[in-house]
């Protein structure tokens, strides 16, 4: 390789030094296979040399490079603001063009052509032209400049003497359909509309048919929706190359509503969470600057821009890991009759009153939370009477979601009974916390459930349903199919959450029967 002297002598060209720096920084939440070669290291360093960044390379920048070196067609990079995401990707694209003859690279922001052109002029044209003023001239190569910069409206690009070109594109299907790119970067992917995704992806994917080693890179911060977002899909694709600097998706929203705990928000500690996951805090920005952004942006926008948490709107992606759910399953025929000394009892009716269920939760001998359904039915005929019978049998408090009108109708009927049953009413805040709590139990292997189809079927389709404020969510059906049967999941999740409020009875009484 014919390398610039500053790159040929750079210590990071050596694999040991490269890997040591790469692994020294904050690790992302999700990271696909990392691969480094002498060629890929040289390409990245050449890009950094062109942009004047050889002395300011950060660990996360090397992770991005190595994830792309693995050679996957589909790739996604999500990082907080002020963490060098776009700069890292520009280094890769420029370096590939410099060292690979006739390499065609493309770049656009999935917002507007104007913003794309501004990004090119600020982050590529500006740094390079200041180092090599002749690079903007027609005879750039003859005058010793390593590249030729073109700034004409609609034709912005970087040209290389080996025939390679990095083109700046408009964010529309026609712009990417007209060229077959070896490397294509779609930045600000979280901002793309559903219509834009249909247009761009429909044009992009076929264009790689003639580029067997081509790569599509989606990058940005989190968007307001999931279903239909190719960015969200790629971030969750096990076959894709992924660097994901975000908080876990099941984070409790109440932890994000204030920078640090106070009387009104005792659980909040957004500032502490930022320190744990923001890779740019060690040389690119400061905690005070990010705290100011938290104050100015507001919780919802900050959560998207810095914590990388996508909105629940339009979600068609199951929120619970099926492999983890399966591994927490106990055979139904082995359930027999269990008689816990303490268990919670929750009733749920879905909004259209097409399904209803009673869920219970208790602590098993293995010290894990065990959950199950003791009743499930289609419709609500006779449901109130069944709930009353079961609650009296075990002398249980009936716990239910006070925000559910359909459940309220059934509970109102029970209040006419004598003796009147005892109730525990949960509020909106409880519903969101119950969903987070249940998801965490599964992810941390602290939950067991018997093999009940009504439960597993619900887990397979359950998605996030936005509730309350500040990104809180509960379990819901897929978009457009909100009346699907997930009442079993809702019932056991609320039961697991309410378990801490249950007191042990004086005697065990009758056993719980499953199946």
pLDDT tens column, 402-432? 999 999 999 998 888 888 889 999 998 889 8
- What is the pLDDT, as a whole number, of residue 196? 83
311 lies in a domain?
no
**CATH code of the domain containing 145:** 3.40.50.300
pLDDT exceeds 90 at position 377 = yes
User: Is residue 106 a contact partner of residue 169, using CB atoms and an 8 Å limit?
Assistant: yes
- Two tokens, residue 13: 């060209």
Tokens of residue 43, six digits: 């390409």
Which pLDDT does position 72 carry in this prediction? 96
Query: Same domain for 13 and 71?
Result: yes
pTM, entire model: 0.78
Q: What are φ and ψ of residue 382, in 5° steps?
A: 75, 0
What pLDDT does residue 506 have?
Answer: 46
Answer yes or no: is 313 within a domain: no
* DSSP code of residue 141: G
> What pLDDT does residue 199 have?
81
Average pLDDT of 117-138? 91
Per-residue pLDDT at 225 = 80
Phi, psi for 196 (deg, rounded to 5): -65, -40
Q: Report yes or no on 76 lying in a domain.
A: yes
User: Which of 32-46, 251-265, 468-482 comes out lowest in average pLDDT?
Assistant: 468-482
Which two three-digit tokens encode residue 508? 């065990």
Domain stop point among 226, 244, 262: 244
pLDDT tens profile 335-369: 556 667 688 999 999 999 999 999 999 998 888 99
CATH number, domain with residue 385: 3.30.420.240
CA pseudo-torsion sign 68, 74, 80, 86: positive
Q: Which domain holds residue 299?
A: 253-305
State the pLDDT at residue 3: 95
Q: According to the model, what pLDDT value does residue 511 have?
A: 59
Residue 238 class from Cβ within 10 Å (0-12 exposed, 13-18 middle, 19+ buried)? exposed
Considering the domain architecture, whether residues 230 and 278 belong to the same structural domain is answered as no
pLDDT at 286: 93
How many domains, the chain? 3
Does a structural domain hold residue 334? yes
The CA distance from 454 to 440, in Å, is 21
State whether 177 and 274 are in the same domain: no
DSSP for 39-58? Answer: HHHHHHHHHHHHTT-TTS--
Same domain, 208 and 342: no
Residue 508 banded pLDDT, cuts 50, 70, 90: very low
User: Are 58 and 151 contained in the same domain?
Assistant: yes
358 and 300 share a domain? no
% of the chain residues with pLDDT over 90:
60
Q: What is the pLDDT of residues 244-300, one digit of tens each?
A: 999 998 888 888 999 998 888 888 899 999 999 999 998 889 999 999 999 999 888
Whether 478 shows a pLDDT value over 60: the answer reads: yes
Whether 495 and 377 map to the same domain: the answer is yes
Percent of the chain, pLDDT > 70? 92
> CB of 221 within 8 A of CB of 300?
no
Domain boundary among 201, 219, 244: 244
CA dihedral 60, 65, 67, 68 (to 10 degrees): 150
66 and 190 in a common domain: yes
Which pLDDT does position 507 carry in this prediction? Answer: 47
State whether 220 and 265 are in the same domain: no
Residue 176: per-residue pLDDT: 67
The pLDDT score that the predictor gives to residue 207 is 75
Q: Examine residue 261 and state whether it is found in any structural domain, yes or no.
A: yes
pLDDT at 160: 96
More confident position, 207 or 89: 89
Residue 44: its pLDDT value, please?
98
Q: What are the strands, taking DSSP E only, across 310-458? A: 329-330, 337-338, 343-349, 355-363, 369-378, 398-401, 423-426, 447-450
pLDDT at position 140 is 81
Is 159 part of any domain?
yes
Q: Which of 378, 372, 375, 312 is nearest to 350 (CA)?
A: 378
**Using CB atoms within 10 A of its CB, is residue 142 exposed (0-12), middle (13-18) or buried (19+)?**
exposed
Q: Rounded distance, CA 1 to CA 292, Å?
A: 46
Over 70: is that where the pLDDT of 313 sits? no
Helix, strand, coil content of the chain in percent (nearest 5): 40, 20, 40
291 and 332 housed in the same domain: no
Write down the pLDDT at residue 224.
83
* Crossing angle of helices 38-50 and 15-22, rounded to 10°: 70
Reading the block at residue 356, the tokens are 């209803």
CA-to-CA distance for 52 and 112, rounded, in angstroms? Answer: 27
Shared domain for 103 and 215, answered yes or no, is: yes
Is 312 inside a domain boundary?
Answer: no
Taking only the tens place, the pLDDT of each residue in 452-461 is 999 999 998 8
- Least confident residue range of 148-157, 179-188, 220-229, 310-319: 310-319
- What band does 504 get if pLDDT is binned at 50, 70 and 90? low
Residues 264 and 377 in one domain: no
- Would you state the pLDDT for residue 333? 67
């Amino acid at each position: 390789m014919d390398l610039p002297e500053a790159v040929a002598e750079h210590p990071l060209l050596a694999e040991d030094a490269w890997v040591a720096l790469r692994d020294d920084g904050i690790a992302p939440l999700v990271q696909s296979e990392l691969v480094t070669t002498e060629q890929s290291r040289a390409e990245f360093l050449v890009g950094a040399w062109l942009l004047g960044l050889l002395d300011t390379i950060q660990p996360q920048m090397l992770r991005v490079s190595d994830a792309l070196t693995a050679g996957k067609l589909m790739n996604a990079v999500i990082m907080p603001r002020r963490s060098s995401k776009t700069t890292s990707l520009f280094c890769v694209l420029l370096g590939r063009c410099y060292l690979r003859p006739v390499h065609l690279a493309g770049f656009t922001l999935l917002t507007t052509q104007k913003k794309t052109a501004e990004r090119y002029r600020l982050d590529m044209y500006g740094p390079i032209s200041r180092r090599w003023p002749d690079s903007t001239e027609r005879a750039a190569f003859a005058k010793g400049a390593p590249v030729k910069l073109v700034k004409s409206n609609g034709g912005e690009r970087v040209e290389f003497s080996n025939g390679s070109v990095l083109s700046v594109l408009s964010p529309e299907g026609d712009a990417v359909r007209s060229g077959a790119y070896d490397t294509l970067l779609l930045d600000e992917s979280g901002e793309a509309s559903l219509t834009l995704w249909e247009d761009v992806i429909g044009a992009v994917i076929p264009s790689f048919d003639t580029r067997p080693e081509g790569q599509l890179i989606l990058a940005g911060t989190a968007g307001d929706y999931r279903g239909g977002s190719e960015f969200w899909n790629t971030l969750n694709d096990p076959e894709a190359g992924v660097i994901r600097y975000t908080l876990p998706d099941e984070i409790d929203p109440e932890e994000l509503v204030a920078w640090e705990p106070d009387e009104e928000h005792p659980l909040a500690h957004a500032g502490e969470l930022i320190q744990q996951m923001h890779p740019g805090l060690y040389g690119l920005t400061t905690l005070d600057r990010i705290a100011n952004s938290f104050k100015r942006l507001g919780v919802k926008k900050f959560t998207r821009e810095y914590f990388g948490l996508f909105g629940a709107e339009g979600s068609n992606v199951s929120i619970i890991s099926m492999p983890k759910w399966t591994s927490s399953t106990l055979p139904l025929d082995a359930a027999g009759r269990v008689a816990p000394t303490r268990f919670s009892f929750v009733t749920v009716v879905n909004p259209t009153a097409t399904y209803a269920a009673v869920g219970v939760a208790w602590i098993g001998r293995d010290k894990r939370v065990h959950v199950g359904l003791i009743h499930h039915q289609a419709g609500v005929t006779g449901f109130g009477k069944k709930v009353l019978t079961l609650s009296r049998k075990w002398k249980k408090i009936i716990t239910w979601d006070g925000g559910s009108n359909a459940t309220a109708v059934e509970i109102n009927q029970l209040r006419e009974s004598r003796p009147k049953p005892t109730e525990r009413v949960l509020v909106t805040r409880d519903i969101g916390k119950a969903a987070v709590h249940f998801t965490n139990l599964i992810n941390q292997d602290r939950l067991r459930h018997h093999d009940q189809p009504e439960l597993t079927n619900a887990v397979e389709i359950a998605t996030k349903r936005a509730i309350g404020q500040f990104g809180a969510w509960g379990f819901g059906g897929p978009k457009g199919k909100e009346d699907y049967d997930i009442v079993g999941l809702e019932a056991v999740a609320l039961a697991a959450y309410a378990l801490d409020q249950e007191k042990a009875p004086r005697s065990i009484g009758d056993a719980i029967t499953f199946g």
